[in-house]
Amino acid sequence: MSPVIHFAISDQISGWYTQTGPILFYIVVWGLVFAGTGLFVGAFIPFITGDSLLFASGLVTAATPELSIWILGLGVGIAAFVGDQVGFVLGRHLGRPYLDRKSGPRMKRIIARVDKFYQSYGWWSVVIARFIPWARVFVPWVAGIGKMNYFKFLTSNFVGAVAWGVGLTLVGYYAASIPGVKAAAYVIAGFFIIASIIFSVRTWIIERRDRQQNAANNSEN
């Protein structure tokens, strides 16, 4: 292959990566944020779909010229908002029996705590829950099950999505201005991701073991 053709192909690949790399990054971050509450993924991997993800993505954006913090932040806010809306609608239509059937003993204990939390704080519980890993996933469902007024949930969800989604992403982005942090952005982001995966696997194993134990106890009875 001639050097001219080689460089031409290299330029094409470089141009493709420059155009698609940021798009894939946005899609992955937004998809994880949405799946955290909309698809219940956050019940098993709360950190990789929550605070750590937002902070790390903000750091990476600050260290990557091709990425825009405004596009990322706006998309995160929308994904967080839509995810909670889906959770609320599913909770309203599927009800508590469905949630109980899909939960092991450990999850049921968490849901009981979330239910008390929701009963105590109402509108504010949706906003505050954004910053609490064990509550973030379940509060939209509990609010839906409890037939919370749709407009009230809509407004509290919007405030929470902006404060948490956009806010934490910006915190990560501006944290890169601290000396030494920007240079280590990818290392810090990698640490958060690896720690989240380890915690998620541990959570999945515990939940699976609890379900098996619960099934065994029910069969004996």
What are 52-97's pLDDT values in tens digits? 788 888 888 888 888 899 999 999 999 999 999 999 999 898 888 8
pLDDT at residue 162, rounded to an integer: 93
Six token digits for residue 51: 């605070």
At 138-170, the pLDDT tens digits run 899 999 988 899 999 999 999 999 999 998 898
Number of domains in the chain: 1
> Cβ atoms within 10 A of the Cβ of 93, count?
10
Spatial separation of the C-alpha atoms in residues 88 and 164, rounded to whole Å:
18
pLDDT score recorded for residue 20: 63
Residue ranges of alpha helices (H) inside 39-184 are: 51-63, 69-101, 105-121, 123-129, 133-136, 138-145, 150-160, 167-175
Whether residue 112 has pLDDT greater than 70:
yes
**pLDDT confidence of 184, banded at 50, 70, 90?**
low
Region of poorest pLDDT, from 120-129, 141-150, 174-183, 203-212: 203-212
Q: What integer best gives the mean pLDDT of the chain?
A: 77
User: Among 139, 120, 115, 121, which residue's Cα sits nearest to residue 129?
Assistant: 139
pLDDT tens track for 28-61: 889 989 988 887 776 666 556 677 788 888 888 8
Residue of 71, 61, 68, 85 whose CA lies nearest to 30:
71
The SS3 of residue 21 is helix
Euclidean distance between CA atoms 205 and 24, whole angstroms:
30
* pLDDT-above-90 percentage for the chain: 23
pTM of the model: 0.74
Range of the domain at 181: 3-220
